[in-house]
Structure 1
Amino acid sequence: MHLDWSALGEVTAVSIGVTVAVVVVFALGVLGLARHEGARENPAGASALGVVQAGLCFLACAAVVAYGIYLIVPQFH
Protein backbone atom coordinates (compact mmCIF):
# COMPACT_ATOMS: atom_id res chain seq x y z
CA MET A 1 0.00 0.00 0.00
CA HIS A 2 1.35 3.37 -1.03
CA LEU A 3 0.25 6.69 0.45
CA ASP A 4 0.74 9.92 -1.43
CA TRP A 5 1.67 12.06 1.56
CA SER A 6 1.88 15.29 -0.42
CA ALA A 7 -1.69 14.84 -1.70
CA LEU A 8 -2.87 14.05 1.83
CA GLY A 9 -1.17 17.18 3.13
CA GLU A 10 -2.71 19.25 0.34
CA VAL A 11 -6.21 17.97 1.12
CA THR A 12 -5.64 18.67 4.82
CA ALA A 13 -4.43 22.21 4.17
CA VAL A 14 -7.34 23.02 1.86
CA SER A 15 -9.84 21.56 4.31
CA ILE A 16 -8.47 23.61 7.20
CA GLY A 17 -8.36 26.74 5.05
CA VAL A 18 -11.95 26.39 3.86
CA THR A 19 -13.14 25.60 7.38
CA VAL A 20 -11.51 28.73 8.78
CA ALA A 21 -12.89 30.83 5.90
CA VAL A 22 -16.46 29.58 6.44
CA VAL A 23 -16.25 30.23 10.18
CA VAL A 24 -14.96 33.77 9.57
CA VAL A 25 -17.71 34.50 7.02
CA PHE A 26 -20.36 33.13 9.40
CA ALA A 27 -18.97 35.29 12.21
CA LEU A 28 -19.19 38.34 9.94
CA GLY A 29 -22.84 37.44 9.31
CA VAL A 30 -23.50 37.30 13.03
CA LEU A 31 -21.73 40.66 13.37
CA GLY A 32 -24.08 42.09 10.74
CA LEU A 33 -27.09 40.86 12.70
CA ALA A 34 -25.64 42.36 15.87
CA ARG A 35 -25.24 45.70 14.08
CA HIS A 36 -28.87 45.49 13.00
CA GLU A 37 -29.97 44.86 16.58
CA GLY A 38 -27.75 47.69 17.81
CA ALA A 39 -29.30 50.03 15.25
CA ARG A 40 -32.74 49.24 16.66
CA GLU A 41 -31.61 50.59 20.02
CA ASN A 42 -29.82 53.54 18.43
CA PRO A 43 -31.86 54.78 15.42
CA ALA A 44 -28.91 56.75 14.04
CA GLY A 45 -27.12 53.48 13.07
CA ALA A 46 -27.07 51.91 9.62
CA SER A 47 -29.61 49.12 10.07
CA ALA A 48 -29.94 48.12 6.41
CA LEU A 49 -26.21 47.66 5.98
CA GLY A 50 -26.07 45.10 8.79
CA VAL A 51 -28.94 43.10 7.30
CA VAL A 52 -27.33 43.11 3.85
CA GLN A 53 -23.99 42.06 5.32
CA ALA A 54 -25.60 39.22 7.28
CA GLY A 55 -27.62 38.06 4.28
CA LEU A 56 -24.62 37.93 1.98
CA CYS A 57 -22.47 36.14 4.53
CA PHE A 58 -25.12 33.53 5.33
CA LEU A 59 -25.80 33.06 1.61
CA ALA A 60 -22.09 32.42 1.04
CA CYS A 61 -22.06 29.85 3.87
CA ALA A 62 -25.13 28.13 2.43
CA ALA A 63 -23.46 28.01 -1.00
CA VAL A 64 -20.38 26.32 0.46
CA VAL A 65 -22.55 23.76 2.26
CA ALA A 66 -24.60 23.09 -0.91
CA TYR A 67 -21.41 22.63 -2.95
CA GLY A 68 -20.07 20.18 -0.36
CA ILE A 69 -23.28 18.16 -0.50
CA TYR A 70 -23.09 18.22 -4.30
CA LEU A 71 -19.57 16.78 -4.15
CA ILE A 72 -20.52 14.03 -1.69
CA VAL A 73 -23.80 12.77 -3.20
CA PRO A 74 -23.13 10.89 -6.47
CA GLN A 75 -26.73 11.21 -7.75
CA PHE A 76 -26.16 14.97 -8.24
CA HIS A 77 -23.39 14.46 -10.79
Structure 2
Amino acid sequence: MKIDWASLGLVAVTTVVAAIAIVGIFSLGVSALTSGGRTASGAATPSATARIGGYLCLGVSGLLVLYGLYLIVPQFH
Protein backbone atom coordinates (compact mmCIF):
# COMPACT_ATOMS: atom_id res chain seq x y z
CA MET A 1 0.00 0.00 0.00
CA LYS A 2 1.37 3.36 -1.04
CA ILE A 3 0.07 6.67 0.26
CA ASP A 4 0.15 9.63 -2.09
CA TRP A 5 1.32 12.23 0.43
CA ALA A 6 1.03 15.12 -2.00
CA SER A 7 -2.66 14.42 -2.62
CA LEU A 8 -3.30 13.93 1.09
CA GLY A 9 -1.62 17.26 1.83
CA LEU A 10 -3.65 18.98 -0.88
CA VAL A 11 -6.89 17.65 0.57
CA ALA A 12 -5.88 18.72 4.09
CA VAL A 13 -4.93 22.24 3.00
CA THR A 14 -8.10 22.60 0.92
CA THR A 15 -10.23 21.47 3.85
CA VAL A 16 -8.66 23.95 6.25
CA VAL A 17 -8.93 26.84 3.78
CA ALA A 18 -12.57 26.03 2.98
CA ALA A 19 -13.48 25.75 6.67
CA ILE A 20 -11.84 29.08 7.49
CA ALA A 21 -13.56 30.74 4.51
CA ILE A 22 -17.03 29.45 5.45
CA VAL A 23 -16.65 30.40 9.11
CA GLY A 24 -15.27 33.80 8.09
CA ILE A 25 -18.19 34.52 5.77
CA PHE A 26 -20.67 33.43 8.44
CA SER A 27 -19.05 35.57 11.13
CA LEU A 28 -18.94 38.54 8.77
CA GLY A 29 -22.70 38.14 8.27
CA VAL A 30 -23.37 37.94 12.00
CA SER A 31 -21.16 40.96 12.57
CA ALA A 32 -23.03 42.94 9.92
CA LEU A 33 -26.40 42.02 11.42
CA THR A 34 -25.36 43.05 14.93
CA SER A 35 -23.67 46.30 13.94
CA GLY A 36 -25.28 49.67 14.14
CA GLY A 37 -26.15 52.36 16.58
CA ARG A 38 -28.08 51.86 19.78
CA THR A 39 -31.70 52.92 20.10
CA ALA A 40 -33.32 54.25 23.25
CA SER A 41 -34.21 50.69 24.31
CA GLY A 42 -30.59 49.60 23.90
CA ALA A 43 -31.12 47.38 20.85
CA ALA A 44 -28.70 47.57 17.93
CA THR A 45 -30.29 48.50 14.61
CA PRO A 46 -28.08 47.85 11.59
CA SER A 47 -28.48 49.96 8.48
CA ALA A 48 -30.30 48.56 5.46
CA THR A 49 -27.03 47.95 3.63
CA ALA A 50 -25.54 46.09 6.59
CA ARG A 51 -28.72 44.03 6.97
CA ILE A 52 -28.74 43.03 3.28
CA GLY A 53 -25.02 42.23 3.38
CA GLY A 54 -25.42 40.22 6.56
CA TYR A 55 -28.24 38.11 5.17
CA LEU A 56 -26.30 37.68 1.93
CA CYS A 57 -23.25 36.41 3.83
CA LEU A 58 -25.39 34.02 5.88
CA GLY A 59 -27.06 32.75 2.72
CA VAL A 60 -23.75 32.22 0.92
CA SER A 61 -22.29 30.31 3.87
CA GLY A 62 -25.43 28.15 4.04
CA LEU A 63 -25.23 27.40 0.32
CA LEU A 64 -21.56 26.46 0.65
CA VAL A 65 -22.40 24.03 3.45
CA LEU A 66 -25.20 22.48 1.38
CA TYR A 67 -22.85 22.15 -1.59
CA GLY A 68 -20.31 20.38 0.64
CA LEU A 69 -23.00 17.96 1.78
CA TYR A 70 -23.97 17.39 -1.85
CA LEU A 71 -20.37 16.47 -2.64
CA ILE A 72 -20.08 14.11 0.33
CA VAL A 73 -23.36 12.15 0.07
CA PRO A 74 -23.29 9.84 -2.96
CA GLN A 75 -27.11 9.43 -3.14
CA PHE A 76 -27.40 13.06 -4.25
CA HIS A 77 -25.45 12.44 -7.47
Aligned to 1:2, the other structure's residue is in SS state: coil
Contact 1:26 1:57 in 2 (8 A): yes
Aligned residues: CA RMSD: 1.8
TM-score (structure 2 length as normaliser) = 0.84
**Structure 2 contact 34–46 (Cα < 8 Å) conserved:** no
Q: Higher strand fraction: Structure 1 or Structure 2?
A: 2
TM-score (ref. length: structure 1): 0.84
CA shift, 1:72, in A, is 1.3
Residue type matched to 2:58 in 1?
F
User: How many residue pairs end up in the alignment?
Assistant: 73
Mapping for residues 57-76 of structure 1, pairs under 5 Å: 57-76=57-76
1:5-44 matches, within 5 Å, as 5-35=5-35, 38-39=36-37, 41=39
In the TM superposition, what are the counterparts of 1:47-62 in structure 2 within 5 Å? 47-62=47-62
Cα distance in 1 between the residues matched to 2:53 and 2:38 = 16
Cα separation, partners in 2 of 1:72 and 1:46, compared to 1, 3 Å: closer
Alpha-carbon distance between aligned partners in 2 of 1:24 and 1:49, rounded to the nearest angstrom = 19
Query: Which structure features the higher share of helix residues?
Result: 1
Deviation at 1:75, TM superposition (A): 1.4
**Gaps spanning 5+ residues in structure 1: where?**
none
